[in-house]
Amino acid sequence: MQTLNQISLAETLKARRERLSQLIDLPVILWSGRSSARNFPANTYPFRASSHFLYFAGSPLENAAIRLEQGKLTLFMDDASPASALWHGESPARTAIAHQIGADAAYPLAQLQTKVEDCATVLVQDPGTHEWQTQVLNRAIAIAPEAKGIDLALIHAIATLRMSHDVAAIAELRQAVAVSIAAHQAGMAATCTAKTEADVKAAIEQVILANNMTTAYTSIITVHGEVLHNHHYHHELQARDLLLVDAGAETASGWAADITRTWAVSGRFSPTQRAIYEVVLLAHDLCIATMKPGIEYEAIHLTAARVIAEGLVDLGILRGNPTDLVEMDAHALFFPHGIGHLLGLDVHDMEDFGDLAGYAEGRTRSDRFGLGYLRLNRPLQAGMLVTIEPGFYQVPAILNDRDRREKYGDVVNWERLAEFSDVRGIRIEDDVLITATGTEVLTVALPTNIEAIEQLISGN
């Protein structure tokens, strides 16, 4: 058996383009993108190449393009100017990079213009590159979910390929996961001395930086887990708070991890925190236990919804039959988001395609409050990496909404719920690889059970 070390980057990329050429018989040009300016042009954000480019070029080259046709790879980029060497040091030449990534030919960017006929492409996020794409191809390039014709055909082909990770991708994903696990452990260990959310963030991101990686997305590190996309870190930690941490690293070539843990600031969950946490953890465990190729991801989501509804009935927070409660979306009062999403080069993998990757052909988002936020709706298949991230939140905008309070007035025991006021937000998120026969939880080394988490916090 060939081990990973024996598979060169060039071989991996060759296999990817050959699979692409089996799916579509079109020449393709993919652009890497440009860095964007912060304050003034010379002060740029760290460059992050387009994920589609990274998948086929393997390297975060700035201001570059590749052409793929019948398994052949052509690289287009300019060599650095002599003045650039003064400020940025010697850069590898185009020919050296071409060799490393196994390109069949390499040209300056000016040549790109001459090889564009009938080429499909994918829109790159930064507007400067979008304009460049439009000029070079001399036609409009639509935002991916609105793409038509050859661009749409390309999107479906890329989605098919990137949906199922190859050995090299999985090796990168494992690296991102390993560093993310160490980062969460550092965050847990730092909690006892941390004064603010920012202190824990610093401990977590220090690990990511020390491994020469970046965060794959803006970390969520908050005692207000009920604010789902919370990017503030100024709150002081109080002993009765739960801290929700959703943070993941990204390798140099762009592969992401996405992990959430929720822990007690004091190092000891209160009885109410423990009770809800166990409900969320049971949903998490049962979801993963049922996953294997062929299972519908929506069914996994509904499993989580049912387990959460059952747990809340058992705790006296919801009233009624769990199946009925899920059908009326009562679970979504407390679990308003989807059970997870694809993970790969993007933290929501291929979300620039809208739902063209996440949803099987012919499927569209549900109108139901309890299903509409699901980002993935297709059968699981081997090689897919998905997150499983059930949660419980007391979101004021949901629970104080007059229409919802009326609709769900009878099924929620509001007085009982008030006893759980120290549980604002809990989420447990793991990264689950679908194997031929079941799953491998890549993030399994980071415990989810309360006892082990309490030990990591206290350092015992």
Enumerate binding residues for Mn ion (CB under 5 A).
258, 387
Specify the DSSP element, H or E, that contains 451.
helix 450-458
Q: How many residues bind a second copy (CB under 8 A)?
A: 63
Choice between 121 and 448, CB closer to Mn ion = 448
- Residue 126 lies near a second copy (rule: CB under 8 A): yes
- DSSP count for the chain of H helices, then E strands: 15, 16
Instruction: Report 32-51 residues binding a second copy (CB under 8 A).
Output: 36-46, 48, 50-51
Query: What is the rounded distance in angstroms from the CA atom of residue 237 to the CA atom of residue 220?
Result: 15
Q: Using CB under 8 A, which residues numbered 201 to 220 contact a second copy? A: 201-203, 205-212, 217-218
Burial (Cβ within 10 Å: 0-12, 13-18, ≥19) of residue 118: exposed
Q: Are the C-beta atoms of 306 and 335 separated by less than 8 Å?
A: no
Phi, psi of 28 (to 5 degrees): -130, 135
Of 93-101, 225-233, 290-298, 319-327, the window that binds a second copy (rule: CB under 8 A) is: 225-233
Site for a second copy in 351-380 (CB under 8 A): 351-352
**Does 100 sit near a second copy (CB under 8 A)?**
no
Taking CB under 8 A as the criterion, the residue among 1, 3, 86, 362 binding a second copy is 86
Cα–Cα dist 366/399, whole Å = 21
**What would the x/- binding string for a second copy be over residues 127 to 166, using CB under 8 A?**
xx--x-----------------------------------
CA 248 to chain centre: 9
Residue 9 found at the interface with a second copy (CB under 8 A):
no
Paired tokens of 404: 């919802």
- The nearer residue to a second copy, 111 or 400, going by C-beta atoms, is 400
Using DSSP, state whether 220 is helix, strand or coil. strand
User: Which residue type does 395 have?
Assistant: V
Distances (CA, A) of 383 to 284, 337, 344, 374, 435: 20, 24, 11, 20, 6
Minimum CB distance to Mn ion, residue 376 (Å): 11
Task: Cite the DSSP H helix spans in 261-296.
Answer: 271-289
Between residues 90 and 361, which has the closer beta carbon with respect to a second copy?
90
Q: Tell the smallest beta-carbon distance from residue 278 to a second copy (Å).
A: 26
- Quick one: tokens of 29? 């040009």
Question: Residue 262: beta bridge partners?
Answer: 244
| 193 part of the interface to a second copy, by CB under 8 A | no
Q: Which of 1, 87, 148, 410 binds a second copy (CB under 8 A)?
A: 87
Identity of the residue, 122 or 313, whose beta carbon is nearer to a second copy in the bound complex: 122
DSSP helix/strand/coil, 456 = helix
229 touches a second copy by CB under 8 A: yes
431 binds a second copy (CB under 8 A): no
Q: Which does 258 bind (CB under 5 to 8 A by kind): Mn ion, a second copy, none?
A: Mn ion
User: Which partner, Mn ion, a second copy, none, binds residue 348 by CB below 5 to 8 Å per kind?
Assistant: a second copy
- In angstroms, give the least distance from the CB of 234 to a second copy: 6
> Residue 86, SS3?
helix
User: How far, in Å, CA of 370 to CA of 98, rounded?
Assistant: 49
State which residue, 41 or 149, has the beta carbon closest to a second copy: 41
Piece of 94-102, 227-235, 297-305, 405-413 that binds a second copy (CB under 8 A): 227-235
CB neighbour list of residue 385: distance below 8 Å, 6 or more residues apart: 165, 170, 173, 342, 343, 344, 349, 431, 432, 433, 434, 442
The contact set with a second copy (CB under 8 A) reads 36-46, 48, 50-51, 82, 85-90, 125-128, 131, 196, 198-199, 201-203, 205-212, 217-218, 224, 226-231, 233-234, 336, 345-348, 350-352, 395-398
